[in-house]
Amino acid sequence: MRTAAGLLVGAVIGLAWLLAGNRGPLYLLLYTLATVPGWPLGFALFGRRHAAGWVAGALLGYAFTALAWWGAIQLDLTSFAGFTLVWAAITAAVWLTLRTPATGLIALPAWTRRDGVGLFFVLLLVPAIAGPPFLKVGSRDASGARLYRAYFTADFLWHRALVAELRRFDFPPRDPYATPDRLNYYWTYFLVPAVISETFPGRVFDDTERILLLNALGAGVLFVASLFLAIWIAVPHAGPAAAATLLAVVAASAEGAYVLWDLWRRGTPLAAVRQLNIDAITLWFFQALTIDGLPRSLWYTPQHAAACGLGLVALTAALRGSSASGAVPFSSGVALAAAVTFSPFLGGVFSLIYGVTIVVRWLQRELGVTDLGWHAVAAAPVVLATAWCVANDMLSGAGGALRLGITPHAYRAIVVVPALALAPLLLAALAGCLPWRGIRLPATGVAGFLIAVPLLLFVSIGGTDPIWVGWRAGQVLLVTLPIFAARAFARLWQMKPPASVGVFAALLLTGAPTTVIDAYNAQDVSNRDRGPGFRWTVAITRAQQAAFAWVTRETPRNAVVQMEPTTRGRETWTLIPTFAERRMAAGLPISLVSKPAYETGSQRVRSLYGTADPDEACGIARRMRIDYLYVDTSDRALFGDRAMAKFDAGGDCFSRVFRNDEVSIFAVK
């Protein structure tokens, strides 16, 4: 176990060093300190001597730190000393209030060295999967351009812009694509890297890009650990739990195997997989819903991974916890509430799964009617967290965007998704549903399936890609189906160990091509070809970098710097908020729920850039309260010299303040 733990620690610290030099391990230390406030609650639930106590405590502690720092901002304690004082206060309050027993309130099977080896072994997946793509984010080519692979341009670059907004400590945060509107997004997870990067002495962590990658690395370790433990607690055997975790993380989808077979059948070179979104073949080939594999949670959406981890903590308590008092249900509610603040949709889904788990346990005669009443206590923190999200405008517009009813994508998904997107994991899970004398079906797995499938088929969000709910509902399936898979592996191992190994190997070989291809493509910044409507790799040129650096250095932090958004598409839609760290008056953000202000404002900006009348352009700019205008070669190519002449001529409205070979920046007088 010590060897396995040493390999894991070495791999994580080594990757952190490669990402950020000596600042990498230092940031991981600060990340660890941010988890400390939750340790006593994790120990109270699962005990000091059990891995579940440490993992649950770390997930809860990160949430406690984020919420405490939100409070510090409300109190205007926005210095490093102020944030440290608030962190110390919340840490002392929790540690002095809760005991840290060796065994917790929830009775779990004894944790052995074999279990520890299994946990550390599967956690090695995190640096192995995250490392190569993370090391290529923002890498430079021979010309000095910085390279960003799709789909880092959709999520990661938005997260950079979000952290830049949070670092201003203007709360509630403003929408950087429709200032001065409030931001309607769940930003809680990102408060920790924002505070550290903004206030740590010496501006040691001012490289937001590296900090977000390091933070995602820590979140990924806790997420995969929580997944392993949720499986192990339902099926307490190290080997089957590790096998099910491996299957869920690296081999849940048969899309890669299908594509390889299809290319071989048609005589097409296998290198064609570089031009495919391999984990979305159900959408690309069959126009059905798609389910993003768990590696994409590590690469692109760590906030959702953290919410899943917290939800799994609550489900573990629901499966094993005694309801002799309200302590365990209330603690579960705290974990669910934290999940809601990180990802309201996922937090709400896990809250539903928690409730259904309790009902299933009651139907299985594990709980009585009185127990149902005690477990209702878990709802109180969730209601408070939801109210907090509403008060901070995180959910504004989300309710009106929800659509109920089966969509064409969902209709096609009934066959395609089980056959491709979930095939290896689903086959193992179905085998795990077979009767096993003396052992009931795990209630958490049953509840997860009962909630996730209707969401997948009957719920969508209007105004965005109809597949967004499919991603989140699919994520729930990917973290609950492995519980059944572990049950199948455990049963088969008891009956025929060689057969168990053979079945696992066959499923792994079927599912692994998807992850291998996806991981290769995620780091392949050498692919400059165009995909369907976007380039696979976006290059930020040296000239653009110089312009963004000038904006960051020379303009006021609350300045409104505008680019023309309508022609940027899915590639450079967030140039100014991400790289210049300034707000825009209008933009078309692909990572946020659409609202009319984005489209109407962007059309006004298009008129500003397209008109040849300097007075008209000046009037639009002033009415939109734009301080600076960004113009690069793509704008000049689109609108032509006649339209651009109004900026170059200057006059009473526009004054050139920056220029290089590609970019000009004009101040609006």
Lowest mean pLDDT among 123-132, 232-241, 390-399, 469-478: 390-399
pLDDT for the residue 410: 73
Which two tokens mark 153?
């341009």
The residue-averaged pLDDT of 106-115 equals 90
Percent of the chain with pLDDT over 70: 96
pLDDT for the residue 502: 93
pLDDT for the residue 324: 57
Which two tokens mark 417?
């998704």
pLDDT for the residue 83: 97
Which two tokens mark 9?
């620690």
Lowest mean pLDDT among 33-47, 441-455, 535-549: 441-455
Q: Distance between CA atoms of 603 and 469, rounded to whole angstroms? A: 29
pLDDT for the residue 323: 57
pLDDT for the residue 444: 86
pLDDT for the residue 405: 67
> What is the band of 178 on the pLDDT scale with cuts at 50, 70, 90?
very high
**Residue with more model confidence, 468 or 234:** 234
Q: Distance between CA atoms of 246 and 241, rounded to whole angstroms? A: 9
Alpha carbon 1 to its chain centroid, in Å, reads 30
Judge whether residue 467 has pLDDT over 70.
Answer: no
Judge whether residue 272 has pLDDT over 60.
Answer: yes
Cα separations in angstroms, 130 against 179, 294, 518: 34, 11, 11
Cα separations in angstroms, 662 against 245, 606, 629, 648, 659: 49, 20, 14, 14, 8
The residue-averaged pLDDT of 95-121 equals 89
One-letter amino acid of 98: L
Judge whether residue 571 has pLDDT over 90.
Answer: no
Lowest mean pLDDT among 411-420, 521-530, 553-562: 411-420
pLDDT for the residue 1: 84
Q: How many helices (H) and strands (E) does the chain have?
A: 30, 9
Judge whether residue 401 has pLDDT over 80.
Answer: no
pLDDT for the residue 424: 96
pLDDT for the residue 554: 96
pLDDT for the residue 599: 93
DSSP class per residue in 150-219: TTTTTTHHHHHHHHHHHTTT-SSPB-TTSTTSBP-S--GGGHHHHHHHHHSGGGTT--HHHHHHHHHHHH
The residue-averaged pLDDT of 348-360 equals 91
> What is the band of 416 on the pLDDT scale with cuts at 50, 70, 90?
confident
Average pLDDT value over all residues in the chain: 91
pLDDT for the residue 210: 95
Judge whether residue 356 has pLDDT over 80.
Answer: yes
Rounded to 5 degrees, what are φ and ψ at 155? -105, -55
pLDDT for the residue 370: 77
Judge whether residue 313 has pLDDT over 60.
Answer: yes
The residue-averaged pLDDT of 442-447 equals 86
CATH 3.40.50 domain residues, the chain: 541-668
pLDDT for the residue 411: 73
pLDDT per position as a tens digit, 469-483: 778 888 999 999 999
Judge whether residue 282 has pLDDT over 70.
Answer: yes
Contact 613, 589 (CB under 8 A): no
**Residue with more model confidence, 72 or 402:** 72
As a CATH number, domain 541-668 is 3.40.50
Distant-in-sequence, close-in-space partners of 572: CB < 8 Å, separation ≥ 6:
538
Closest CA to 552 of 529, 586, 531, 575: 575
pLDDT for the residue 397: 61
DSSP class per residue in 79-120: SHHHHHHHHHHHHHHHHHHS---SS-SS--PPP-HHHHHHHH
Distant-in-sequence, close-in-space partners of 9: CB < 8 Å, separation ≥ 6:
none
The residue-averaged pLDDT of 441-452 equals 87
pLDDT for the residue 436: 73
Distant-in-sequence, close-in-space partners of 466: CB < 8 Å, separation ≥ 6:
289, 407, 409, 460
Maximal CA-CA distance, the chain: 85
pLDDT for the residue 364: 80
pLDDT for the residue 240: 94
pLDDT for the residue 2: 87
Alpha carbon 381 to its chain centroid, in Å, reads 23
Judge whether residue 460 has pLDDT over 60.
Answer: yes
**Residue with more model confidence, 414 or 639:** 639
Coil vs helix vs strand at 233:
helix
Q: Distance between CA atoms of 234 and 245, rounded to whole angstroms? A: 13
Judge whether residue 321 has pLDDT over 70.
Answer: no
Contact 90, 37 (CB under 8 A): yes
**Residue with more model confidence, 91 or 463:** 91
Percent of the chain with pLDDT over 90: 70
